[in-house]
Each structure stands twice: as C-alpha cells, then as structure tokens.
Amino acid sequence: MSKVAVIGGGASGMMAALTAAEDKENSVLLLERQQRVGRKLLATGNGRCNLSNTELTMQNYHGSDPAFTEHALRGFDPEKTLDFFRKLGLLTVTEPGGRAYPLSDSANSVVDILRFACAEAGVEIITSCPVLGIKKDGSKFLISAGEETIRTDKVIVACGGLAGGKLGGVKDGYELLGSLGHSRTALIPALVQVTTDPEYPRALKGIRADAEIELFSEDRHICSARGELQFTEKGISGPVTFDISRAVASLGDKKGTVHIDFLADYPRNEVLSMLRAKASAYGTLPCEELFTGLVHNRLGKMLLKCSGLCGGKTMSELTEEELADAAGAAKDFRLRIKGTEGFDNAQVTAGGIRTSEFDPRTLESRMVPGLFACGEVLDIDGDCGGYNLQWAWASGRLAGKLGK
Ligand SMILES: Cc1cc2nc3c(=O)[nH]c(=O)nc-3n(C[C@H](O)[C@H](O)[C@H](O)COP(=O)(O)OP(=O)(O)OC[C@H]3O[C@@H](n4cnc5c(N)ncnc54)[C@H](O)[C@@H]3O)c2cc1C
C-alpha cells in the first residue's frame, strides 16, 4: 500500500483524493484545516456553484504560463467533468454562455456528492486539522498536523489561494511548498469588485446595466470588456468588472480611470439623434426624463447630472450642445479608480507557485519527487464563469493520478 496525503479539502483536493482512491494500491488521507470540507465551494456562484464552462478555451486562463493548463484541461475537459459528476449522481444544467450549474441550483449538492463519493471510495477525511509543515525524510514525507506527525509516500498540496479570506483563503499552501524549495510569483486579488470615486456609485447602488468598459491608466488604454455591470456601495462589480479587475489590481500605485459606455450598441451620433427625437416628441416634460426608456431611471438622472444638466428645464428647452453633452455622458461615463476590494472579497488569486517548477503532464514537483500540487495554489487563474472550478477539477484529477 502507498500512503497518500491530500492537504486541503476544497474543490481540487477532494477531486485529487477521489482520483487517488480509484487506485486500490493507495490509502488516501484528506486533511482539512476548517471544520468541514468544501467551505469555499458552498459560496461559489452565489451559492449556485458555477462548476464549469462548456465554452472553455485556453484564452480563459492566465498566469506566467497559461499553456501549463493544457494537458490537465484536455485530459479532463468540461464535458468529462460534467460526465464525471453525473456518474457520481449529480445532474447539471448548462446555461447560455456555457456556464454549468448543478440542476438543484445549490452548491450544497456539489459538496455533498463529493463527500459521499470520498467516503464511498474509502478516503479518510480529517477536518479541523491544519497542516503546519511538510518535511522530506528519505523517500517519505513527514506531515505535521496538529499534535500528530503523519508519514506518507506521496503528498498532494491542494490548499487553494488567498482569495475569499472569510471562506478560508490562506497562504498556507505557498508556505508549505515554499518550505520544500518552491517559489512563487506576486499574488494579486482577481475577480473582485473595483472601488471608485464614491460620489456617483453610492447613488447608483444596486443598478445593473449592460455596458462596455475600458480601463485607462496615465492616458494608456489597458483593457476593455463587455457585459453586465453592477454598481455597489463603493464602486462597481459584476462580470464585466471582474474581467478588468486583475488589470486594476496590477496598476498598484498608478492612477486609473474606467470609461463606461451604457449604450455600446449605438454609435454616439445615433444616441444624439435618439435624444433629439425624444426632446422634440416629449418637449413639455422635464429634462430629467431625457434618458427614460434608454437606461435605468436612476442612472439616467445621474447621467444628466454629470453632464451638467440641472432640473428646471423642459426637454424642448435643451440646446443642441446640452443634448450632445448628455449623449457623451451615456457613451463615456468616467470613474476614477481607487483600487479593489482586496483578497477577502476576491474570487481568485492571480499568481501563485511557479508552474515552471512542476511537470504539466503530471503536476509532480520537478524538485521533490512524490510531491504534487493542484488548484489555485499554482500560478493559474481563470476568467469569471466556471473556469476556476474547472481548473480545480482538472488539475485535481491529474494530480490524483500521482504520475501514473
Ligand atoms: C465567493 C467566491 C465565489 C466563487 N465562485 C466561483 C464560481 O462560481 N465558479 C468558479 O469556477 N470559481 C468560483 N470561485 C473560485 C473557486 O472557488 C476557487 O478557484 C476554487 O475553489 C479553488 O479550488 P482549490 O481546491 O484550489 O482551493 P479551495 O477550494 O480554496 O480549497 C482549499 C482548501 O484547503 C484548505 N487548507 C488551506 N490550508 C490548509 C492547511 N494548512 N491544512 C489543511 N487544509 C488547508 C482550505 O481550508 C480549503 O478548504 C469562487 C470563489 C469565491 C471566493
């Protein structure tokens, strides 16, 4: 028998443990520092768990070497993942855009199925058991967990990253692997809300809009994205914000501005024509109603305010210049960036243990034979939409094969 310890009972760790247990030559121990396994998984997808994405491409992954993911993701692609879960007893549904969720619409089901499957496969799960150190002793590993020292033949580090601090995001994985000679890149929060000059967002809190957003820093265009934007107490959120959040976090001390286009499907001159037509058709109405029917009412009023149009006028009294300013505000609404909501509120950690130190075909350390790593602890992060869990499953599956 070969004794295998998996450190971390999250998405990748449970997958790795299940996979390792498929080989009856292995006796598998899963060590989890929190009181229960899969705590972060329960919070994923707003409690629905967006567990994969069937429209995955390699462009959805980031890190120093995103191609590192290829072997794992081709070996266990979204289709195989959903099939794997179906065989465990979990039905899923795929929404337009490829996002896959459990049919039950509840992340609980995913955690429960993984727990049942681990128990059935003979994986021994020990919770409330933080691993404090790993040492190499000849061909064996000595794992310090609480009061105990556990001797194993193989170790899989699946401790996740720093994101989601309240859900158990810690730096243990980096430190455990660091103590065995591995190094890491800089860590930054990604898929996280962006904080902005609070003047406008506070009044817009709760509003959602389809928008195209562009990030600029020191007059340089950094990146752009299109999708749903949400205004929060302190700034902006929603999938389109998540798409630029990694670039925002990378700005560091540099100043940044986000330019928002709320009518991205309409060129500026067309927007101006629509506003002119509105002003002439409803000439006796107050100018506050200029954007009614085009954007959310509260947002429309804010756009007028920030284009300098105050109340008191009727629509027919608006000048051509005022209409052009209003069109400009809808097409290019600017917010100064303060930063991000940080690791506690981030969904994923960008950066991590250097992938060049691991073999992409097995996820075994190139420095320490018998040591494997999977999931977010490695320098790989995915876009919003199920890509991070897909990486957790695929890398956990590969690491759990233990090089065989
Ligand atoms: C709020 C939120 C929502 C998200 N929604 C989605 C989504 O819908 N779709 C998606 O694809 N991704 C989502 N993600 C990202 C996704 O959850 C993670 O990328 C994924 O869980 C990473 O899997 P992992 O196994 O590497 O780490 P984790 O799932 O974080 O698991 C790591 C485990 O290791 C344990 N651990 C750490 N240190 C030790 C130690 N020293 N000893 C023992 N155990 C230890 C931790 O307690 C934890 O249980 C979301 C993340 C957050 C925070």
Q: For 241-255, how does the pLDDT look when each residue is reduced to its tens digit (9 = 90+)?
A: 999 999 999 998 888
* pLDDT per residue as tens digits for the range 63-89: 999 999 999 999 999 999 999 999 999
Q: What is the pLDDT of residue 146?
A: 79
The per-residue pLDDT for range 340-349, each reduced to its tens digit, is 999 999 999 9
Residues 154-168: what's their mean pLDDT?
Answer: 95
pLDDT for 24: 96
Indicate the pairing of strand 61-62 with strand 381-382: antiparallel
- Residues 78 and 136 occupy one common structural domain: yes
The pLDDT of residue 349: 97
Q: Tell me, what's the pLDDT at 112?
A: 98
At residue 264, does pLDDT exceed 80?
Answer: yes
Contacts of 200 (CB under 8 A, 6+ apart): 302, 306, 335
Residues 200 and 104 both lie in one domain: no
Nearest to 311 by CA among 286, 329, 292: 286
Is residue 107 situated within a structural domain? yes
Q: Based on the fold, state whether residues 177 and 198 are members of the same structural domain.
A: no
Q: What is the pLDDT of residue 201?
A: 73
Boundary (domain end) residue, out of 318, 341, 364 = 341
312 located within any domain:
yes
Report the pLDDT value the prediction gives residue 229, as an integer from 0 to 100. Answer: 97
Final residue of a structural domain among 297, 322, 341: 341
Name the amino acid, one letter, at 137: D
Please give the distance, rounded to the nearest whole angstrom, from the Cα atom of residue 88 to the centre of ligand 1. Answer: 21
Helices 78-88 & 107-121 angle (0-180, nearest 10): 70
Distance from the CA of 274 to the center of ligand 1, in angstroms? 47
What is the helix (H) or strand (E) element at residue 334, kind and residue range? strand 333-340
Cβ of 157 closer than 6 Å to ligand 1, yes or no, is no
Q: What is the pLDDT of residue 199?
A: 74
Q: Is residue 346 part of a domain?
A: no
Same domain, 56 and 179: yes
pLDDT at 309: 81
Query: Which residue bears the tokens 């914000």?
Result: 241
**Does the beta carbon of 385 lie inside 6 Å of ligand 1?**
no
Tell me which of 52, 175, 389, 395 to substitute to probe ligand 1's pocket, judged by most ligand atoms within 8 Å of the beta carbon. Answer: 389
Report the C-alpha gap between 166 and 110 in whole angstroms. 20
Structural domain contains residue 255: yes
Q: How many domains is the chain built from? A: 2
* Residue numbers of the domain that contains 102: 2-187+352-400
Which residue, judged by its Cα, is nearest atom 9 of ligand 1?
386
Distance 159 CA to ligand 1 centre (A): 8
Separation of 203 CA from ligand 1 center, angstroms? 33
pLDDT at 217 over 80: yes
Q: Are residues 225 and 289 in the same domain?
A: yes
Q: Which of 295, 314, 341 is the last residue of a domain?
A: 341
29 and 174 inside one domain: yes
Q: For residue range 1-39, what is the model confidence (pLDDT) as tens digits?
A: 999 999 999 999 999 999 999 999 999 999 999 999 999
The SS3 of residue 66 is: helix
- Check whether 198 has a pLDDT greater than 80: no
392-225-346 Cα angle (round to 5): 40
Q: Are 210 and 264 in contact (CB under 8 A)?
A: yes
| pLDDT reported for residue 202 | 78
In a domain, 105, yes or no: yes
One domain, residues 87 and 176: yes
Residue 15 in any domain: the answer is yes
**Predicted pLDDT of residue 307:** 86
Q: How far is the CA of 381 from the centre of ligand 1 (A)?
A: 12
Q: Is residue 31 within 6 Å of ligand 1 at its C-beta?
A: yes
Q: Is the CB of 44 under 6 A from ligand 1?
A: yes
Please name the residues in contact with 310: beta carbons below 8 A apart, sequence gap of 6 or more. Answer: none
Q: Residue 118's domain is classified under what CATH number?
A: 3.50.50.60
Instruction: Report the separation in Å between the CA atom of 328 and the middle of ligand 1, taken as the mean of its atom positions.
Output: 42
Q: Which atom of ligand 1 is nearest to the CA of 164?
A: 53
Pair 319, 174 in one domain: no
Quick one: angle between helices 320-331 and 268-281, nearest 10?
130
Q: Which atom of ligand 1 is nearest to the CA of 12?
A: 25
CB of 34 sitting under 6 A from ligand 1: yes
In a mutational test of the pocket of ligand 1, which residue from 380, 388, 393 has the highest number of ligand atoms less than 8 Å from its CB? 388
CB atoms within 10 A of CB 159: 30
The reply to whether 347 falls in a domain is no
CA 169 to ligand 1 centroid distance, Å: 7
* Residue 253 confidence (pLDDT): 83
Asked whether residue 84 falls in the same domain as residue 232, the answer is no
Q: How far is the CA of 190 from the centre of ligand 1 (A)?
A: 14
Predicted structure pTM score: 0.94
Distance 52 CA to ligand 1 centre (A): 14
What is the position in ligand 1's atom list of the atom closest to the CA of 169?
30
Atom in ligand 1 nearest the alpha carbon of residue 132: 41
- Give the pLDDT score at 147: 83
Does 10 sit in the ligand 1 pocket, CB within 6 Å? yes
Do 8 and 150 have their domain in common?
A: yes
pLDDT tens per residue across span 81-119: 999 999 999 999 999 999 999 999 999 999 999 999 999
40 in ligand 1 pocket by Cβ < 6 Å?
Answer: yes
Tell me if 107 CB under 6 Å of ligand 1: no
Q: With a 6 A CB cut-off, is 299 part of the ligand 1 pocket?
A: no
- Tell me, yes or no, whether 119 and 69 share the same domain: yes
Burial of 152 (C-beta count, 10 Å sphere; 0-12/13-18/19+): buried
> Does the structure show a pLDDT above 90 at 322?
yes
The yes-or-no verdict on residue 312 having pLDDT over 90 is no
Q: Is 311 a residue whose pLDDT tops 80? A: no
Closest C-alpha among 356, 358, 368 to residue 399: 358
CA 255 to ligand 1 center in whole angstroms: 31
Q: Look at residue 292 and tell me if it is in a domain.
A: yes
300: left (phi over 0), alpha (psi -120 to 50) or beta: alpha
Same structural domain for residues 269 and 317?
yes
- Å from CA of 163 to ligand 1 middle: 8
